[in-house]
Chain A
Amino acid sequence: AAAGDGWAAVCEKFRTARTLSAVESRKDPETEPYRSKYSARALLQEVKQQLSAAEEGGEARLLAVRRAVLEYELGVNHTDTEELSAGEEHLQRCTQLLEPHRLSPDCVSLYIQAQNNLGILWSERDEIKTAQTYLESAEALYNQYMKEDGNPPLDPSEHFMAEEEKLTDQERSKRFEKAYTHTLYYLAQVYQHLEMIEKAAQYCHTTLKRQLEYCGYYPVEWALNAATLSQYYLSKQCFMEARHCLAAASVIFSQAGQVPSAEDNEAEQDQQYLCQRKAEIARFWIKYCLNLLQSARKLLEDNIGELDPDRQLELKAQRKKEEDEKEKGRKKAVLFGTSDICDSVLAMEEKVSSVYPLDFQEAREIFLVGQNYVQEAKEFFQVDGYVSDHIEIVQDHSALFKVLAFFEEDYERRCKMHKRRIDMLEPIYADLNPQYYLLISRQLQFELANTFYEMMDLKVAIGNRLEELDSHTIKKINSLAQLAIKYYELFLDSLRNPDKVFPEELGEDVLRPAMVAKFHIARLYGKLITSDHKKQLENMQTSLEYYTFLVDYCEKYPYAVRAIETELELSKEMVGLLPARMERLRAKMYPFI
């Protein structure tokens, strides 16, 4: 047969098969889902026959490669139609044919793709470790090829193309890199299934990076993925990497911009979609700021939860030393971005620190960044329509204030920060239907109570510095204490069953908070200031009852002790001391009895 025409026909057949498989198959009906693929298979088999019939000879190598392409296509075809054994056979034959030449430009891409598919195939059989070996082998081959040769290799489809149709070097490189990106992506999944999380994260990161450089990407999706990856880094306290992900996410997201669309309705929906995604990225930033501040606090706090100045000095000195090392580390890190976005990403990064804040000034800067993102997120996640999200954002805002207060030395200013928390949490709590939002309701009750409790403690501390407590301060202290008691009681009430009975035994998730609530109420009654002895006696009685509850509960359920050791010890002490104090007070009140 005339070589020229015959060959063109063969190529045509091959291309038709590929189109059937990739394009037509999507239109296959449900009852015959693989119709196009079977047709494609028939064509591929025909081509294979025609190749076998061809002469061996000088062009043995070329023939072998062409056969390998066929085996590859058939392998993928069988895998797609759930015939794994046949698929494996073809793919293995493909790699066998290519084996002696696998590092050469005409074979390497095909070989890697075959291995990618063998990896996928074995994962279908739930043999993830076998999948791993194929994929890692593909990875190694890519690296070896790039080191030893590095020129853009032939794309497998070119073996069935006419000379004039062959691809440019640029296109070849693009396709080759895409194949390798998939290798890395599949490996990320494998490592994740094998619970090698650190490696999985690394490969996810690299995949993201390569999407920007080689693969094409959807800006919004890419941004969300990068932002989500930051969460992983936060969990490992890798703030520099987390910040980099978030900065890149913000920069790439801004590429999305307005989506032009014919219909107004669609454009509106698209705008909605963009606004929501932007708000979601803002929420990831909030978590970043919050985590950074909270981790810093953990390092700086002493055993009563206050900022330890010695630790502070220590860490500041340590930081100075590490600054140089960090720069070196920076350069080694996997950075996103082609040169054009690199600068934008850097600019974003410079807006917020990635090292632990060690004093109020530094903490405040991070706090302000977080607060800005809170406002941004709330723009979309409004109360009306997105209650749960809105509340979570406000809770984060409150947490930002709480952690900032830790860094603030002045008690009055600290009080003001806690007041801001009350002001943002109380209105939401008031509007919430506790029946439907039980969990959130409890969280808010407890947080409000704790905040009032802290404020009261601060006012007492401030008052203690003065010579005498004036009536205004006393009123303030009492009012704060009463509010704290109110919310702790609301929280405890929420634990009652429908018949309003308090549970005999508390569930694991509510045990500690319930006990802490009881303990704090006891203490608060002890802190109430009154000149009325009768009232004072009543308060002490109430206080005693609550301390006793704790002691009794732990006796009845010894496993509970571990949850509230410190509080229990103090409660036992008070249970011992209070009765005597009450006696003395009674004696003072009724001296002649």
Chain B
Amino acid sequence: QVALRIRPMSAAELAEGARHIAHCVDHQVMVLQDPMEDSSDVLRASHSRQKSYLFDVVFDSTATQETVYHATTQSLVAVVTSGCNATVFTYGPTGCGKTYTMLGTDGELGICARTLAELFQTIEDSSSDVEYEVSLSYLEIYNEMIRDLLSPSLGCLQLWEDASGHVQVVGLTTVPATSANEVMQLLARGNRQRMQEPTAANCTSSRSHAMLQVTVRQSHRGRDLRHGCLCMIDLAGSERAAQTQNRGQRMKEGAHINRSLLALGNCIKALSQPASSKYINYRDSKLTRLLKDSLRGNSHTVMIAHISPASTAFEESRSTLAYAQRAKSIRATVE
């Protein structure tokens, strides 16, 4: 399932004089206008340069956290308790609301807290025969390094892959939890450990992916019944570095010159792209390999893409929408 969330215009955008170019047509279709279009040009008016995008559900800036939760992740609780796996991604450029959707604020909880609350409620309401064990792990992937956010002192962790296809992080701490509050506190603690860098666009943005994994094990009178896993992933900002003006040791993408000779490797790698199968294919990123498990098999996936409605963010919005559309057309090979 692919959803799209358009956030409200920010003060900074209004100050810049940006126009509103992302409009919801109905609850599944939205339209993105090309801000270069001159509305007074009669000849052009008939082929208006706006493209429409179809999603499973579209939320505009008035949508509340509650609404978003109900439409996207609420159903996943039942999935997980029935022994299947589920994954939620938030995707989009820095500052468009990914973390807001995922974690929210104290006053307006995000889907993470709500899903967990519902999960624990379901557990409480269930029959006393069945015992539930909930455990969680929280990790961050930054610059291809995996860090355990619950035990950051462990340093960089390695991936382990076996022939059956199971990929795990060696030495990752899993912590048992008994209430949603407990989980949120652990999350808050973990978040403080995240690699944050100041960027011009958004002070709390991050260039790392954060992945929360909640495993629910059910046992009936000591016998293991089933287990399901819910992964909630806040992807790193998808924007080009041009707008965020990262500097210094932070690796820059795009046509920027990196000061540090430590980045020479990146430059050299780029020389052989596109790598054909004749040469070393740089292995899938750590994120892809970790997700292999949750994207295959009987898994439900929800992606919530985020964009800004401002005309100044047109290019970013367009590429986010294109990516989300492609994601929609991929059918997971479920067998």
Q: Which residues from chain A sit less than 8 Å from chain B, CB to CB?
A: 30-31, 33, 80, 82, 119-120, 123-124, 126, 128, 131, 181-182, 185-186, 188-190, 192-193, 197, 200-201, 204, 207-208, 211, 215, 221, 224-225, 228-229, 231-232, 234-235, 269, 283-284, 287, 291, 294, 383-389, 392, 431-433, 435-438, 498
Contact = CB atoms under 8 A, between A and B. Distances in A.
A431 B163 contact: yes
A82 B271 contact: no
Interface stretch (B6-14, B60-68, B257-265): B257-265
Closest 10 CB pairs of A and B: A436-B165, A232-B271, A123-B257, A33-B198, A431-B163, A433-B165, A193-B255, A231-B272, A387-B161, A433-B164
26 contacts: A30-B197, A31-B198, A33-B198, A82-B245, A119-B257, A123-B255, A181-B261, A182-B261, A185-B267, A192-B267, A193-B255, A200-B267, A208-B264, A215-B261, A228-B265, A229-B268, A229-B271, A231-B275, A231-B279, A234-B279, A235-B279, A388-B284, A392-B281, A431-B163, A433-B163, A436-B165
A189 B335 contact: no
Given A225-B265, A392-B281, A436-B166, 14 more contacts: A126-B242, A128-B255, A186-B257, A192-B267, A193-B255, A229-B268, A287-B278, A385-B160, A385-B161, A432-B163, A433-B164, A435-B297, A436-B165, A436-B292
Interface in B140-193: 155, 160-166
A436 B200 CA distance: 41
A128 B254 CA distance: 11
B248 interface: yes
B196 interface: yes
Majority-rule SS of B interface residues: loop
Contacts of B330: none
**Which of B162, B265, B268 is most buried by chain A, counting CB atoms within 10 A of its CB?**
B268
Contact of A82 (B162, B164, B200, B254): B200
Interface of B: 155, 160-166, 196-198, 200, 203, 242, 245, 247-248, 254-259, 261-262, 264-265, 267-272, 275, 278-281, 283-284, 289, 292-293, 296-297, 333-335
A192 B270 contact: yes
Given A82-B245, A228-B268, A211 B261 contact: yes
Given A228-B269, A385-B160, A436-B296, A80 B247 contact: yes
Given A124-B245, A192-B267, A232 B272 contact: yes
Contacts of B280: 231, 283-284, 287
Contact of B334 (A120, A123, A225, A498): A498
A499 B23 CA distance: 40
Contacts of A189: 257-258, 267
A192 B164 contact: no
A30 B163 contact: no
A120 B257 contact: yes
Nearest to B258: A189
A124 B267 contact: no
Contacts of B261: 181-182, 185, 207, 211, 215
Contacts of B293: 436
Given A185-B264, A189-B257, A193-B255, A385 B271 contact: no
Contacts of A192: 267, 270-271
A204 B161 contact: no
A387 B279 contact: no
Given A82-B247, A287-B280, A435-B296, A224 B161 contact: no
A498 B335 contact: yes
Contacts of B161: 385-388
Nearest to A276: B158
A204 B279 CA distance: 19
Contacts of B245: 82, 124
A540 to B, nearest CB: 35
A498 B297 CA distance: 12
B192 to A, nearest CB: 11
A204 B264 contact: yes
Contacts of B284: 388
A213 to B, nearest CB: 14
